[in-house]
């Protein structure tokens, strides 16, 4: 008769160990799932802003999430040679700085097309692109929300694209001025080896560019091409800049 209590005790012990083992395996499995969860770790994958990928804005501009006035925003920069500049990027809010920094805007502009130039309004992230049949030069107008890094940062970036480093504040101050929307704006004019958005280097190129900061937006006008071709179009480039007006 004494055998039965012993058997009962053994069975209880086995059951307890069995239940404990199952419970422990369940805990381990849950722990493993939590370890691989990006949400638990707070790691979310955020694509690089288009403008940064295409180097439309200064490369040293911070594209990570920052906090401005208590709100998280993505600082993006000149933008992308070609998200459509006549279309808005998200977020599209215009009334607050955090929602508009680094985005493209569809500012309504009008201009006079220089003689012999053709225009294309279907390029991504551009208001308009100008070209001449049989020539390799290209000129475009783009609009970004906010200050887009500032005049100096953008001029330095353009200078670097032409293989000219060390463009300093004093040199910018000494640049000639042209008129855009009634504002005096600096005109950058650089000759050198131009590296395009695909990383291809073009020898003996020339870059003409101007940046016109407005209250909540920045207008960019940029022209690149073989040195001789751009030189022949410089006066027309300035005429284009002078002719730009707001539709509204």
Task: Single out the residue of 223, 238, 217 nearest to residue 108, CA to CA.
Answer: 217
Kindly state whether residues 125 and 229 are assigned to the same domain: yes
Q: Measure the CA–CA gap between 98 and 123, rounded to whole angstroms.
A: 27
Q: What is the pLDDT of residue 112?
A: 97
**pLDDT confidence of residue 26:** 46
Output the tens digit of pLDDT for each of the chain's 248 residues: 455 666 777 777 767 766 655 555 444 444 444 444 443 444 444 444 444 444 444 444 443 333 333 333 333 333 333 333 344 333 333 332 233 334 566 678 999 999 999 999 998 889 999 999 999 999 999 999 877 778 999 999 999 999 988 788 888 999 999 999 999 999 999 999 999 989 999 999 999 999 999 988 999 999 999 999 999 999 999 999 999 999 87
Q: Name the 3-class secondary structure at 218.
A: strand
> Do 104 and 12 have their domain in common?
no
Structural domain span for residue 107 = 50-246
Same domain assignment for residues 109 and 176: yes
Verify that 67 and 136 share a domain, yes or no: yes
Residue 99: partners with Cβ closer than 8 Å, 6 or more residues away? 71, 73, 91, 92, 93
- Is residue 59 domain-shared with residue 33, that is, in the same domain? no
Same domain, 133 and 95: yes
Report if pTM > 0.85.
no
Q: For residue 72, what pLDDT is reported?
A: 34
Neighbours of 91 (CB within 10 A): 14
Residues 125 and 225 in one domain: yes
- What Cα–Cα distance (Å) separates residue 213 from each residue in 129, 131, 161? 20, 25, 21
Q: Report the CATH number that the domain containing residue 95 is assigned in CATH.
A: 3.40.1000.10
Number of domains the chain is built from: 2
Same structural domain for residues 57 and 95?
Answer: yes
pLDDT for the residue numbered 197 = 87
Q: Are residues 20 and 74 in the same domain?
A: no
Looking at residue 24, what is its pLDDT? 52
**CA neighbor of 210 nearest in space, from 172, 161, 165:** 172
Are residues 32 and 139 both part of a single domain? no
Q: What is the DSSP letter of 64?
A: S
Rounded CA separation 209/81 (Å): 15
Distance set, CA 60 to CA 65, 139, 146, 148 (Å): 14, 24, 16, 12
Same domain, 15 and 119: no
Q: How far apart are CA 38 and CA 25, in angstroms?
A: 22
- DSSP for residue 81: -
Residues 37 and 56 in one domain: no
DSSP conformation class of 199: S
d(C-alpha 27, C-alpha 184), whole Å: 69
Model pLDDT, residue 33? 44
């Amino acid at each position: 008769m004494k055998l039965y209590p012993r058997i009962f005790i053994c069975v209880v012990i086995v059951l307890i160990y069995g239940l404990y083992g199952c419970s422990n395996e369940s805990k381990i499995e849950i722990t493993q799932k939590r370890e691989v969860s990006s949400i638990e770790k707070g790691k979310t994958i955020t694509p690089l802003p288009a403008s940064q990928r295409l180097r439309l804005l200064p490369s040293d501009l911070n594209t990570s999430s920052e906090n401005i006035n208590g709100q998280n925003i993505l600082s993006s920069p000149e933008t992308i040679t070609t998200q459509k500049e006549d279309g808005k990027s998200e977020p599209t809010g215009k009334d607050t700085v955090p929602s508009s920094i680094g985005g493209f805007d569809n500012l309504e502009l009008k201009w006079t097309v220089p003689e012999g130039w053709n225009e294309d309004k279907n390029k991504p992230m551009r208001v308009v692109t100008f070209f001449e049949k049989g020539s390799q030069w290209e000129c475009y107008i783009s609009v970004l929300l906010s200050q887009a890094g500032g005049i100096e940062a953008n001029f330095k970036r353009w200078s670097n694209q032409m293989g000219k480093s060390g463009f300093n504040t004093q040199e910018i101050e000494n640049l000639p001025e042209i008129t855009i929307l009634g504002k005096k704006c600096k005109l950058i004019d650089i000759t050198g080896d131009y590296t395009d958005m695909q990383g291809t280097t073009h020898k003996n190129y020339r870059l003409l560019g101007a940046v016109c900061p407005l209250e909540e937006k920045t207008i960019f006008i940029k022209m690149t091409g073989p040195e001789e071709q751009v030189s022949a179009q410089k006066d027309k480039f300035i005429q284009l800049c002078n002719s730009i007006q707001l539709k509204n």
